[in-house]
Amino acid sequence: MERTKTEHPRREFLKKCGLTAVPFVLPAVDWSAIAGGTQPARTIDSPKVVNFIFDGLSLSPSQYLEKLQEINTASPIEPDFYGNGGATKALEASFAKITGKEKAIYLPSGTMANQLAIKLLSGGNTKIIVPENSHVFRDEADAAQSVHGKRLIPIGKEKAYYNLSDLKNAIAYTTNNEVFQSGLDTVVIESPVRRADGTFVPLKTVEAISNYCKERDYKLHLDGARIHIAAAFHDVSIAEYASYFDTVYISLYKYLNASGGAILCGDAQIIDQMAHQIKILGGAVFQSWNQTAVALHYLNGIDERWREVVTVSKKLIQDLNKIKGVRITSIHEGTNIFDLTLDEGISLKKLAVYLYETHSIWLGRANEKGIVKFTVNESILSRDYDAILKAWQSGIEQARS
């Protein structure tokens, strides 16, 4: 059958999403694309994989089922009924507490959380200011325009994040140059910024924007899909960061390892309207405990674990940088994504295949500039530190030509 314009091969899709660091050796990736490569016998279910690719653990279906079983054995999971009761209500209560908001609600996707937040915050107004590189602007299939009758105004092009003067300029420009003032009172920030390799929007930038929005009675929404990661790397409390926003969305699957789902936190006045809106869009799912129980499990103790990820990854990067030909650098205001480059005499492919086959360590591909986005996550804690370092040291030796 002929491919339609909207069907993209997996790799093309990942590239367009800004996810160029596709794994070297994941079975789902076309193995033949690696010169001379044959698929190894080892499967994705290898126990205790240490991955330097994702924000989370990337559990296989059988690992996910085992985890659910383990959670259920420790304390029977209570089911929800359309989000009412059970693990879903418990997760909502936890997130309301973490963000310091009155209420929180489960939604089936972050896209829906972002879209419904900006829809309800803006009410009858139609203009929403969004970061040009944000998920809301680039990756939500024009839902704001086509479903909710909103016009997104992108700002901060070619910057990791916009600042207060960018915002003021954009507001002045639309106010002075449009005949019909159809209403602008909602602003979005994404932090950390996925399309800027996890750059964190600093507290002082957020504070300045938030104060300005409050003065003008504008509403502010945070796409904080990966906020715990940023909080750990920048030693910021989530409640403090969230206090500058009216609504905050956090993903359940990026680093909380659920199979999907999202949480939106905010005032009762906004969150109480959500269930109806979710239903209108067909997003009211019968049961969500299979996601929320897993997210709740990983939420428990998350701050301590991610603080340890920060410490261990800093040490690992220092030690790896001592190996001749290896360079790992951090990005400005970065979080868990670093730039890895290898000298010409070291084959990335040989290193990645060796690490994968011999040590169940996953490494991503290089981008067009030859940089591998070296991403750290909780999996780094699942193995003895010296074993990880030794694996890398011998991998690099094997990969030298």
Ligand X SMILES: Cc1ncc(COP(=O)(O)O)c(C=O)c1O
What residues line the site for ligand X (CB under 6 A)? 109-111, 114, 135, 190, 194, 223, 225, 251, 262
Q: Which is nearer to ligand X, 290 or 360 (CB)?
A: 290
CA-CA distance, 283 to 374, in Å (whole number)?
35
Q: Which residue is nearest to ligand X (CB)?
A: 110
Smallest gap from Cβ 143 to ligand X, in A, equals 10
Q: Which is nearer to ligand X, 37 or 283 (CB)?
A: 283
Smallest gap from Cβ 4 to ligand X, in A, equals 22
Reduced to 3 states (helix: H, G, I; strand: E, B; else coil), residue 127 is strand
Q: Quickly list H helices, 57-148.
A: 61-74, 86-99, 110-122, 135-138, 143-146
Mapping DSSP onto H, E and C, the string for 268-337 reads HHHHCCHHHHHHHCCCCCCCCHHHHHHHHHHHCCHHHHHHHHHHHHHHHHHHHHCCCCEEEEECCCCCCE
CA-CA distance, 66 to 62, in Å (whole number)?
6
Smallest gap from Cβ 148 to ligand X, in A, equals 15
Smallest gap from Cβ 19 to ligand X, in A, equals 8
Alpha-carbon distances of 240 from 42, 90, 199, rounded to whole Å: 44, 22, 18
Smallest gap from Cβ 194 to ligand X, in A, equals 4
Q: Which is nearer to ligand X, 13 or 173 (CB)?
A: 13
CB count in 10 Å sphere of residue 127:
19
Q: Which is nearer to ligand X, 122 or 251 (CB)?
A: 251
Smallest gap from Cβ 133 to ligand X, in A, equals 10
Which tokens belong to 218? 């504008």
Q: Which is nearer to ligand X, 228 or 359 (CB)?
A: 228
Smallest gap from Cβ 255 to ligand X, in A, equals 11
Q: Which is nearer to ligand X, 23 or 395 (CB)?
A: 23
Q: Which is nearer to ligand X, 66 or 142 (CB)?
A: 142
